[in-house]
Amino acid sequence: MDEKQFKAICQTALEGLASKKLNLDMLIERRAKAQERRVIPETIARFMSDCSEYVPLTLKAANSLPHTFESIRTPTNLRQYESQSDWRLPPLATKYPRFSTDRETAEKNNLEWVTPGHGLFEALRRHTLNVAQEPLSKGSCFYSLQHDAPARMDVYRARVVDGLGDVIHERLFAVELSDNGVPQHQEPNILGNFLPTNIPKNLPSVTTLPDAVEWLNENALMPFLNEVRNERLSELDRIAAHVELSLTELLQKADEEIGKLALEVERKAAGAEGRLAQAESRHAELLSRREKRRVELDRQRALTLQAVERITSVLILTHPERKSPEVRRLQPDSEVEATAMQVAMEYEKERGRQVDDVHEKNLGYDLTSLDLNSGELRLIEVKGIAESTGNVLLTPNEKRVAEDRRDCYWLYVVTDCRTEPPLQNPVKDPAHLQWHEVRKVDHYYLSIDAVTQPMQVREREIPYGDRKK
pLDDT tens, position by position, 51-81: 999 999 999 999 889 899 999 999 999 999 9
Nearest to 159 by CA among 19, 14, 303, 282: 303
404 pLDDT more than 90: no
Per-residue CA distances from 183 to 180, 309, 321 (Å): 9, 17, 26
Region for 416 from its dihedrals, namely left if φ exceeds 0, alpha if ψ lies in -120 to 50, beta otherwise? left
In tens, the pLDDT along 357-402 reads 998 888 889 999 999 888 899 999 999 998 888 888 888 889 889 9
**pLDDT classification of 296: cutoffs 50, 70, 90:** very high
Sheet holding 151-161, edge to edge: 184-186, 167-177, 151-161, 304-318, 140-144, 195-197
CA–CA gap between residue 339 and residue 418 (Å, rounded):
8
b/e sequence 123-141, b meaning 16+ C-beta within 10 Å: bbebbbeeeeeeeeeebbb
Does pLDDT of 467 surpass 50? no
pLDDT of 2 reads 67
Q: How many CB atoms lie within 10 A of CB 57?
A: 19
Contact between 41 and 102 (Cβ < 8 Å): yes
The predicted structure's pLDDT at residue 451: 67
CA 76 to chain centre: 31
Domain ranges of the chain: 35-131, 136-227+306-318, 228-304, 325-468
Inform me whether the pLDDT recorded for 465 exceeds 60. Answer: no
**Measured distance CA(273)–CA(5) in Å, rounded:** 29
Q: How many angstroms separate the CA atoms of 328 and 308, rounded?
A: 39
325-468: CATH topology: Trna Endonuclease; Chain: A, domain 1 (3.40.1350)
Enumerate the β-bridge partners of residue 158. 171
- Banded model confidence at residue 213, pLDDT cuts 50, 70, 90: very high
- Contact indicator for 350, 191 with CB cutoff of 8 Å: no
Say what the pTM is.
0.76
**pLDDT level of residue 238 (50, 70, 90 thresholds):** confident
